[in-house]
Structure 1
């Protein structure tokens, strides 16, 4: 038990745990729709598209969360504009903006000789540096994500499974899609400080994908994903403490590992009825 509890006696690790738990809850709410709606590529592009905003905020001494949010919103609006103004597919527009925003961020970073350490934290996370003020921001983001999920639940469900029916029911699918993108943006912006933009998908996609193999109701997927994300956070912090590894990367790796364990268990579950039927006389 001491092996499990010793890391959390340090105040910065305890804060990291609380920060990770809040992020896990936010990512469970948004990640469920990412998985069900098939928005993984957009989420990935938006997570990397935050680099210009974060770079500018860091160089100008501004708030990193505000810079990340503005850059992510610009990325989402840019994808929508390119899709509407041209005949290109959404995937093509996402790919173009993805490369453009990432290149712009690298250019901004290259203008500074002192941004290398900050860039490393941005890409790979710095969960052990979470401050009490950051916990307040993460709690506000989790509350906002919960409110958005609750208010938009009916429209999100219709949009995820049958967009044409959503239109028929008068649920404004375009507005629902915009709100869903906003929810994903909120989760990514809230998460990058904990696990970094390169690893944010560890908590955004892996827990909901793992639960989607077992649960059939959206609330059950969200609850299970939050629990899996919380377990990945706690286990990742313990392992990183004893193995002296990067905390954010370890959390993401544990989350992905839990998905593969869930997928393996689901495969065994699905093969049992087939074997039983084959063995029956």
Structure 2
């Protein structure tokens, strides 16, 4: 029991656990829609697109969260605008914004005297540096994410499975898509301090993808994804403490490992549940 509880008797590890739990709950709704709609590349691009705002805020001595929010807003507006360009595919526009904003972020970070340290922190996060005020901000972000998820659930559902029907029902699919991008941006902004911009997809995509074989309905996927994210946070912090590994990377790696374990168990379950073939009888 000491092996399980000793790390969480330390104050900064307790804050890290609470931060990871809140982030897991924030990422679950957004990550579910990302997985169902096949928007993983967009999520990755938006995560890396945070770098310019975060780097500029750090360089100017400002609030990193504000810088991340500004970058997320710019990325969301850019993706929405380029998505309406008829001669340019959405993937091309996302790729251009991804590379452009990431390059700008590295250029800004390179102006700092502690280039390597700052870039490592931005890319991989520092979950053990979560402060009490960060927890308050994450709690507020969770309230916003839950409100958007509940109010926009019907529109998101129609947009995911039948965009034409969404238009017919007057659900305004373009607006729903923009709001969904905002929800995704909120989850990424909340997560970057925990696992960094490089590993954010570990908590955003892996838990919902792991929940898919076992949950019934979209809400079930979200609930199970949040539980798996919390599990990955607890286990990752525990392993990081005892093995001396990077905390954020360990949490993200464990979340991805849960995905592979989930799908392996699902395949085994369906194989055992499959009825045995009936032997063919000889025709006299």
TM-score category of the 2 structures, normalised to the smaller one: over 0.9
Relative to structure 2, which stretch is displaced further, 164-173 or 184-193?
A: 164-173
Q: Which runs of no fewer than 5 residues in structure 2 stay unpaired?
A: none
- CA deviation map 1:218-273 (0-9, x unaligned): 11101100000000000000000000000000000110000000010111122224
Q: How does 1:112-261 map to 2 (within 5 A)?
A: 112-261=112-261
TM-score of the pair, normalised by structure 1: 0.97
Aligned to 2:71: 71
Aligned to 2:277: 278
For residues 279 and 256 of structure 1, do their structure 2 counterparts lie closer, same or farther at Cα, with a shift above 3 Å needed? farther
1:39 aligns with 2:39: yes
1:262 aligns with 2:234: no
Hey, what's the Cα distance between the residues in 2 that align with 1:110 and 1:186?
26
Relative to structure 2, which stretch is displaced further, 64-73 or 111-120?
A: 111-120
- CA deviation map 1:80-125 (0-9, x unaligned): 2233345110001000110111111111111222243222111111
RMSD of aligned Cα (Å): 1.2
Contact 2:51 2:68 in 1 (8 A): yes
Superposed displacement of residue 72, structure 1 = 1.5
- CA deviation map 1:40-85 (0-9, x unaligned): 1111000001111011000011111110111111112112223334
Q: Runs of at least 4 residues of structure 1 off by over 6 A?
A: none
Q: How does 1:51-90 map to 2 (within 5 A)?
A: 51-85=51-85, 87-90=87-90
Hey, what's the Cα distance between the residues in 2 that align with 1:115 and 1:151?
42
For residues 279 and 258 of structure 1, do their structure 2 counterparts lie closer, same or farther at Cα, with a shift above 3 Å needed? farther
Hey, what's the Cα distance between the residues in 2 that align with 1:273 and 1:3?
38
Q: Higher Cα Rg: structure 1 or 2?
A: 2
For residues 278 and 177 of structure 1, do their structure 2 counterparts lie closer, same or farther at Cα, with a shift above 3 Å needed? same
Hey, what's the Cα distance between the residues in 1 that align with 2:194 and 2:238?
15
